[in-house]
Structure 1
């Protein structure tokens, strides 16, 4: 009953992380309004694939995060806002950087402006580990310098600062969650783990990748979702930036080898030039310090370390290798 007293708006609810988060909040008894990107097909993205019980419990709002009037309308009556809507593909940010300014920066401004006017109880703004750029020291804590190494990361740095500025200027109750590289079922093939799995599952032993030496701190979707809920529920998180990461560093090459081993296939990696980032734009190393999340929120990854990563990969592979799911991916096409 306590959860039902909270009306939660989730922007980007139709996406990878957003759909998983929406479903979990419904399961936990929250009253959820899902903000999905308007389209003429009346598609709700991944929420179209949710269980009937989930969909029947949802209120859907179709709109555009870039529209301040629609955003404010969507937020009316809501006590909490989980703001996930953004453009996130790094290669596409080289192609169309202005859209990242409109969506990520102005979209965030629309959220915090409306939150301030409507006196919303809590806004959780979604950041990204990409704002840190290549690690200057490891593990990366929340005090690490911010480095915009792509138009995407630059737009997210600006969006984070916009959200925090409203907390400092107007006492808007904002928290910034900074997930490291989330992976799991439903993730776009623009991300490296789905790229590897979908190519191997399609029968390709020789797979195309970009750079394989960079390291990442991969975070399984269930841990990321629990991180969002922990930040939302904690009063201690207001005005804070909090990393959500596994505290386990692994290279792209090692990740591909682990996936091939789990799938029981041989692997040959071919470097695809179009998948390489410009040299100074590539983030060479990411490794999360998650002590603040543990101390402040009591959050702890359930898929941490090598064994946890392997467990998460198995669950991800199981989903992607289901023919009904794999058929939705174009393994032979580079998805920017």
Structure 2
């Protein structure tokens, strides 16, 4: 639905310039903006693109000249990224859940499951025995939810999400398409020492002897516990714990194609970027940020407020508040010093 600049600015706690009664119905990049769009021109570098567009309204920087930009009205955004968060939320028509709360006739729901008021359940959803779906939850087509699983209020499960048995999820949860939560962990053992154990103790140049290669599955009985306001990206996986739950704290944000292994604990407000992996039984403190394609080996502790750069591999415990880079991951100043030293070796 179209919204006025005045209402949008009020939702952001921002100020307006010019005609605040202008109606806009879509966000757009400056060069592609039409007359009814709100162009996102949050810095002076977008001025020329804005002038060349048909936009009448835009989000602009402090001190922008409306007449020079050819605008009739604008919203001033001193914190552009924060403004983007508020505007995209306000303008999201969310076509995946455009209908009224209802339960589709093709959904298969066990008679012992409970569905909260205002829930919206799409076609071909399967909900297991004694599962509980919170009020105002939205569940897209082809989602499956296992027995004894709890989904919190106002949660959103996009198409194809799979949630196993004995999973507890708090309020405000979002899972993008194809996410899998509560699958078995990758946990196997052998009757004797495996070649991994032998390799650690082996002598240089001595080949490993043949081993009994039969792998015996260790089953995952612990489920998963997820706090409030957690988001999990498309095709990411969170494995169930072995005998206790894998735990994800409040406010954690997980990108696409991320793997959280069995028994892992993620502290509050962690942020894990695409293709990150955290191996079994490792613990990440609050507010850890992991760049794309980074990883943490098993049974390690990463302290609070640690930043792991993209592609880094954490192989030892990391203390609080350190920025690490490289493989094996090391404090960023040490990693950069090492790179400089290698470059000096190649100079004549």
Normalising by structure 1, we get a TM-score of 0.23
Q: Choose 1 or 2 for highest CA Rg.
A: 2
Greater share of helix? 1
User: Relative CO higher for 1 or 2, CA cutoff 8 Å, sep ≥ 6?
Assistant: 1
Greater share of strand? 2
